[in-house]
Amino acid sequence: MMLDLKRSFVLFSILTLVLFSGCSSLGTSRSTVTPELTPEETATEKTTESAIRKSSTPKKKTPHEAIQTKTEVDKYADRRQKYRQFDKEFRIWMTLGITAKVINTEIYPENESYHIQYEMENPRNRSISREERRLIALSYMHIVNRWNSADFPDRDHTYIPDTVNVTVLTPEGKLYETSYLKYNWAYQHSIGKWSKRLYLAHYAGSIELGPEHPDYEGRE
């Protein structure tokens, strides 16, 4: 009898130990586990955040870029003022000797050019048309000669557009011809390397006939 009680007590103890041990393992299996980010995932997340910050932040100009932009603006403003002086002088020369009517002039300091439109007196009179062309070319040449001389210390080549584009219209406002003048042509004459005749020949070579010119190709 005593032996049976001891055996029963031992069995009860073993069963109790097994039961409590099982509950403990079940409780552990139900606990919440926080997933850890792998090194690759962490690096990707940081890169994405950095990209978002960079894209949302406006890029500031460096001091050098800001100075360069301001210098370009100042350069064009200064050149525009100088070309206005040229425009006044050129218009004065254009009123000498002929009755061609200046319609419009435009200044383009960004590409160092100037555009003049004038209306012919009589498109059918070739002698007058030739004199009008000659006056345009000689007016530009005289300004280059004068403003590069010691007689005009407050002027120099920076006041003179590199290219003068010319548009000639009929009294009805139709295109007769276009042409252009280059600073280098007039300068070559001013230093004695080119004759006036050679200078005028270069200008004549730049002429393109418009639909209203009598010799325009395809004109009936």
Structure tokens at 80: 């525009």
The answer to whether position 55 is within a domain reads no
Going along the chain, which residue ranges are E strands?
101-108, 113-119, 163-169, 175-182, 208-209
97: domain range? Answer: 68-209
Per-residue pLDDT tens digits of the chain, which is 220 residues long:
544 545 555 555 554 554 444 444 434 444 444 445 455 445 455 555 555 455 455 565 565 555 556 566 788 999 999 999 999 999 999 888 667 789 999 999 999 999 999 999 999 999 999 999 999 999 999 999 999 999 999 999 999 999 999 999 999 999 999 999 999 999 999 999 999 999 999 999 999 999 999 999 866 5
The answer to whether position 76 is within a domain reads yes
User: How many domains does the chain divide into?
Assistant: 1
**Residue with the two structure tokens 């319609």:** 103
**pTM of the complete model beyond 0.85:** no
Structure tokens at 203: 């200008």
**Residue with the two structure tokens 């210390």:** 153
